[in-house]
Amino acid sequence: MIKVAVLSRWHVHADDYARDIKENTDLSIEMVWDEEVERGEGWAKELNVPFENDLEAVLSNPNIDAVVVNTPTNMHKEVIIAAAKHKKHIFTEKVLAFTVKDSEEIYAAVKEAGVELMVSLPRLTDNNFLYAEKSINEGWIGKLTMVRCRFAHNGGVAPEGQANGWLPKRFYDKEQAGGGAMMDLGAHPIYLTNRLAGKAAGVYARLHKEGNTSVDDNSALLVDYESGALGIIETSFVSNGSPFQLEVYGTEGTLLISDDKIRINSANVESQDLTEVLPGLPIPMVQWVESIKTGATPTITKEDVINLTAINEAALKSHEEGRRIEL
């Protein structure tokens, strides 16, 4: 049994990860720490485990094997490197850090400690992404020319009579989050497009503020890749009813995904509607457990994480300077 301490309830997915731990017979939650004591104490009570106010006491506890890091993103580097130095395996929410330099320093510490680090990039394990990958690898679409990916929700739209939407106000804290919609929700279309199109060559970004916020809430990127393909990446906190969309265009065909509906227009494929569930990949937490137990190599890689960080870092610079940023 891998004994886990959950570190912070700051991120909206913290409860999801707690549920994933409970549902995994190889994991158990033993302790809670939170940078906000009252929030942490409440969570510990819900989970029926002790709350520890001192992070060092958590990390030095010999009964703790691993940590799940849900802290504000600006705390990731400090907390993850400290956990690694104490030989704790680490699962963390995206994004890993604000810069490639910080991300590389985290990975160096993890490598030196000999522990397993998993950054949650869950849509790389989804059936619809696996179809998109297959459409390229099996020549359904010919040469890849463009990928468009959109992931948006209405978390920033306040219902009538209310001051805020369902997304917590802390997600608009530039110091803690590092950015807004593109940094958080936009991570998914960025890492999906990167995986499909390859290494990015340049980024042009518009990080727009629809509301009165300190960070973007409605944004788009244009990325050109060394493969010759273009990437169009869209995200928003202010889009109601927007489906997840992944479109893959090539010289011989087009794959269109809207939520879980998948269609292919190609002379190389007989059926237009693709309904087969491809052999799935384990979710990130399961891959993390297997890497700890057996040394199995996860399908979510350091390269995925670093390339995501590189795009985010370039996007911010592009928006601030109003120009394309070379990578």
The CATH code of the domain that includes 6 is 3.40.50.720
pLDDT tens string 250-290: 999 999 999 989 999 998 888 788 888 888 899 999 999 99
pLDDT tens string 2-37: 999 999 999 999 999 999 999 999 999 999 999 999
Regarding whether 152 and 218 lie in a shared domain, the answer is: yes
- According to DSSP, residue 14 is labeled H
Strand bridging mode 2-7 / 27-33: parallel
The CATH code of the domain that includes 258 is 3.30.360.10
Q: Which residues contact 324 (CB under 8 A, 6 or more apart)?
A: 202, 203, 204, 318
DSSP-H helix ranges across the chain: 14-22, 37-47, 55-59, 76-85, 100-113, 127-137, 174-177, 187-197, 284-294, 302-321
Regarding whether 207 and 184 lie in a shared domain, the answer is: yes
Within a domain: 298: no
8 Å CB contact between 67 and 57? no
Give the pLDDT of residue 28. Answer: 98
Regarding whether 144 and 224 lie in a shared domain, the answer is: yes
Give the pLDDT of residue 161. Answer: 87
Regarding whether 268 and 150 lie in a shared domain, the answer is: yes
Structural tokens at position 35:
């940078």
Give the pLDDT of residue 212. Answer: 83
Which contiguous run of DSSP H or E holds residue 67?
A: strand 66-69
Regarding whether 97 and 191 lie in a shared domain, the answer is: no
In this model, does residue 305 exceed pLDDT 90? yes
Within a domain: 308: no
Regarding whether 156 and 72 lie in a shared domain, the answer is: no
* Alpha-carbon distances, residue 302 vs 103, 190, 198, 311 (angstroms): 9, 15, 14, 14
Give the pLDDT of residue 277. Answer: 85
pLDDT tens string 182-229: 999 999 999 999 999 999 999 999 999 987 889 999 999 999 999 999
8 Å CB contact between 284 and 125? yes
> Quick one: CA dihedral 262, 268, 271, 277, positive or negative?
negative
pLDDT tens string 34-90: 999 999 999 999 999 999 999 999 999 999 999 999 999 999 999 999 999 999 999
Distance, in Å, from the CA atom of 140 to the CA atom of 134, rounded to the nearest integer, reads 8
**Domain that includes residue 271, residue range:** 123-281
Domain-terminating residue out of 120, 153, 176: 120
Question: Using only C-alpha atoms, what is the Rg of the chain?
Answer: 20
Per the rule left: phi > 0, alpha: psi between -120 and 50, beta: everything else, 71 is beta
Hunting for tokens 């994933």 — which residue is that? 20
Domain-terminating residue out of 72, 88, 120: 120
Residue 180 pLDDT grade (very low, low, confident, very high; cuts 50, 70, 90)? very high
Structural tokens at position 141:
């679409």
State the number of CA atoms in the 13 A half-sphere of 304 facing the CB. Answer: 24
Within a domain: 110: yes
Domain count of the fold of the chain? 2
Distance, in Å, from the CA atom of 221 to the CA atom of 16, rounded to the nearest integer, reads 29
Give the pLDDT of residue 270. Answer: 81
Look up the pTM and report it: 0.96
Structural tokens at position 308:
């995501």
Regarding whether 243 and 160 lie in a shared domain, the answer is: yes
Give the pLDDT of residue 52. Answer: 98
Cross-strand bridge partners of residue 273? 263
Regarding whether 145 and 100 lie in a shared domain, the answer is: no
Q: Which residues contact 267 (CB under 8 A, 6 or more apart)?
A: 252, 253
Give the pLDDT of residue 280. Answer: 80
8 Å CB contact between 207 and 216? yes
Distance, in Å, from the CA atom of 316 to the CA atom of 213, rounded to the nearest integer, reads 16
Distance, in Å, from the CA atom of 206 to the CA atom of 142, rounded to the nearest integer, reads 30
Distance, in Å, from the CA atom of 162 to the CA atom of 257, rounded to the nearest integer, reads 34
Per the rule left: phi > 0, alpha: psi between -120 and 50, beta: everything else, 321 is alpha
Would you tell me the crossing angle of helices 127-137 and 187-197 to the nearest 10 degrees?
Answer: 20
Distance, in Å, from the CA atom of 133 to the CA atom of 154, rounded to the nearest integer, reads 28
